[in-house]
Structure 1
Amino acid sequence: MVIELHPYTLALVVAVVVSATVSVRAWQYRPAAGATPLAVLMVGVTEWLVFHALEVTATSPARKLLWADLQWLGAVIIPLAWLAFALEFTGRDDERTERLLGVLLLEPLLGMVLLVTNNAHTLLWGEARVETVTLPGLAPMTVATAHPHVGAIAHALFSYVLLLAGTVLLVQLLLQTRSLYRIQGFFVLLGIGLPWVANVLALLEVTLLDLTPLAFTVTGVAFTVGLYRYRLLDLVPVAYDRVVSTLDDGVLVIDQAGRVVDTNAAADDLFGTGGTTLIGQHVREVVDESERLLPPYDGVDDRTEEISFDVDGERRYFSVQQSQLVGGHGQVVGIIAVFHDITRQKEREQELERANAELERTNDRLDEFASVVSHDLRNPLTVAQGWLEMARETGATEDFEAIVESHERMEHIIDDLLTLAREGADPDAFEAVALPAVARDAWAVVDTGESTLEVETDIVVTADRQRLKQLFENLYRNAVEHNDEPVDVRVGTLSRALSDGDGLAPSADRSTGDESSPSAADQPGFYVEDDGKGIPESERETVFESGYSGSASSTGIGLSIVAKVADAHGWTVAVRDGRDRDDGTTDPARPGARFEFTLR
């Protein structure tokens, strides 16, 4: 068989090889979205190109006309395959579109029937002829042509509708595609545009050759580059719309320079300010604690951080899962940060911590109660039982008086236990309280014997009046019960800083050391002191512990109650030596005990 060799033929052969390769490769990736219809489309393009090449190279007019007719078989399946690709690639492939494609398939089948029977009815085109075509700079060549009739025109309109519908879907997707998919979008746009340009040039007779199949070959190459170089069909942009954009969690895509290059709607709502786009901003401008979103790329693919920041004036907590974004050559090009709101979880954890702390305090009080009941109450009860046996034998009045004293001591212990069982103070009961009045009221209800009280302060404090009174009662009781002789008790305004080595209640904070913080001398406060025998320095760190007692008549709970009441008010209590004399000296024989309360 004699053939005409022409440079245009070489271009067609190359195009056949390329389109066939694209068809095979797309078929191999057919689980990916759009791969199967793309393979079918490229089969149609390959068929079109093969018979077009045979048409150009044939020397017999009859063969040219035969090959020209057979090109129709490939051409009729391209529009439907194009629409199917667009529907699947953009995520619109559902049962309704499948039924629609099944109906539309009837048109290509009808076109093939008309092709076989065209000589009988000439509905597709009239009498075919051979014409000479001259390409710029190349030798003339001959191709078959014919005037289109109604069938060909109808098919052309049908094809344009399908091609236009698929093109609109793809362009619409590109307009919605965010910055992460710009490269993929470029190749899709290139593949979309070229067939239209080639077909319009042929329609306007700018060129006598219809270059549409060559343009579709370039379309296949463009999609192939996207398919293998940029994983176009493995991670289609529609996956973003279906998954990322609908997440309740905020998503930020951050490049190596720390710029936000992509977000989803949840992130826009979370970090957006007045409609300002987040894309292009540095992550420092978007998120507090941003340095924790830019860890060194140390080979760890995923990591999770917990961060917190204010959202609409409310503190919110987030678990941020970070995944590395890897480029085509395996290099890290950025990170994807997903913000999951764990504020409710944190609040529950804090509530649980508070409940555990309260349970610990309750257990501590139960331990204290058990200790007092098992030891301190048992002692006077045993004494009372002993004196009762003596009273039964002797009937002496002093024996009954000893029993009464033991019962009074047990009543005293029970009262202190009830006080300790209550919270240190009720915040709802806080009010402005005149300290002198409370100090004198407490003195009036304590059995102080011949001891005296001197109140040298007129300050007003914010406190629970009842608990403050209990604080003074226990301090007075402590002063009287721990001294064999009457004592002079003085209540005054605190006006000096605490010195190192002073005993502090367990709740007192001695750790600040910040020079900008006000010293104790700058804070209002008060003291309660006596001129008794004082508290040994070795015991000052333990006087506020439950069970401490320096006297047989003491319950060992009083100063523990003092510390709890002070702590509930947010005060610091400390104990030190001595009653300050007017001349600045202290009597070594009666150094006294001084309790100082600093109001924070």
Structure 2
Amino acid sequence: MSGLLIIAAVTTIVAWLAYRQRPKPGAMWLAAMLVAVAWWTALYALELPIQRMATRRPFMKLQWLASLTIPVLWLLFALEYTGRDRYVTRRSVAALLVVPAVVFGFVATFEHHTLVYQDPQIVEQGGTYVVDHVFGPLFYLGVGYAYLIVLVGSLLFVSLIFDRSPTHRRQSVALLAAVLAPWLGNLVHVLDVPMVALDPTPIAFMVTGVASYVALDELELFEAVPVPDHIARDVVVEGMTDPVVVVDERNRVVDANSAASTVLGYDAAAALGRDAARAIPGYPTAVDGDNETVAVETAQGRRFFDVTVSAVTNSSGSRIGRVVTMRDVTERTHDEQRLDVLNRVLRHNLRNEMNIVAACAEELSGRVDDDDRELVETIRERANDVATLGDTARRIETLLESADESALEPLETMLSRVLERGRNQYPSATFESTWTTEQEVVYCPRTLQPVVWSLLENAAVNGDATVTVFVTPGTDGYVSVTVADDGPAIPEREREVLKSGTETPLDHTSGLGLWLAVWGVRSIGGTIDFEGEAETGNAITLHVPCEAEKPATAESQVAN
């Protein structure tokens, strides 16, 4: 008796610990289940010493109240804890309690009929007073229903044993031990196994208390609540505004989110089983890992989508299907179209018009007197400047389209070209270079050459400037190339604009040359730093990825 009361006390404490975890998923139901366990155990302990049947009946009936509700509370806990709380409603709880309520109605009056017990009598077995009886049909109805409910709740936790999280696996094992141990004991009692005088169910509740404590305290039951796949799908996939379609190896649609109806032309559920090549625009044109932009006629008009196809593999790495994701890029496509038109107008039309203006100014310079010739010369210079902007814009476009980090060339070769070009194009300027690469040949992306040239050109326009290129080895596969000049310092405001990457009507640069350097070095995975002082001029440093090889290896690579 005292042992059963200790079990009841332990279970009550664990129930309090679970109750304190409210409102976390399942905490309330687990606490209620453990209270019912303590109720059953305590009443059984109090019943055992009683020798008169009339006095014992109320204890037997109240124990039935716990035995009929524990399975329901276990199922409600399992549903809510594993993320299926949408099934836990007042209506579902009421439905689950229908059978227990009917059975308990007959249990409450079992002395007047034989539907639960047939001829119950108190007998002595091994010094203990127990009730000897034959079970009636309603007994088996109540027990069978309880076993079914326990089985359903247990299966929800069995699925978590195969979860990828080891914490969830250990939690599931502990909870299954907590509920299955007493029900195995109850099965021994129902089958009337010889040599077992007492009902082992309340005794097995010790396992329930210990296992529940382990799950709560050691395994942080309510701190690491599992998120099942169906919730992840509802939140992530169904919540996406991008259409997502899953295709099997037969190229049949097996799943689709709600947004997919935009491109499919009908409800996503109606797409299941259809041929993917006919149902999904851009499939199978886009292969695994690639993007394909397609135009789709929708209820909102023509929309553009980037179609991405990703392989779905099983645990052995074999492909079992594909996921097709379609990102709406209509606004981006329209922006690109507008930019293409504006770019063509600025680069082509405006340049041609400025060339005409410059030619007219050249012709006009010979027909005006000396007082007006300066104005004509200003017109010609400004027209040439605007035309040069168009040329620089075209160079930027070509540079960014052809940028390739894998196309390498010796840095010394590229710098020799740009320095020689500078000396020929700007004879009044002085060009020098200083190397500190410790006898190694450095290879850099070819995109670096036009970037360095744009910096040299920007410095050399200041007449007799002295331009020096410093090459310094960096760390982690990078090299620093600094272009320094003694011309006017780039204004601090302009340097900040280049660093931020955004111009405004008030904060902007004076041309496109420095933008070419900024965008070009970024296209090959590098960075750029600006320094300027009124007394010393400018120092612009490019940090670019490189590969360094010994001279012999480098010469053989150049030869190849």
* TM-score of the superposed pair, with normalisation by structure 1: 0.44
Q: State the structure with more CA Rg.
A: 1
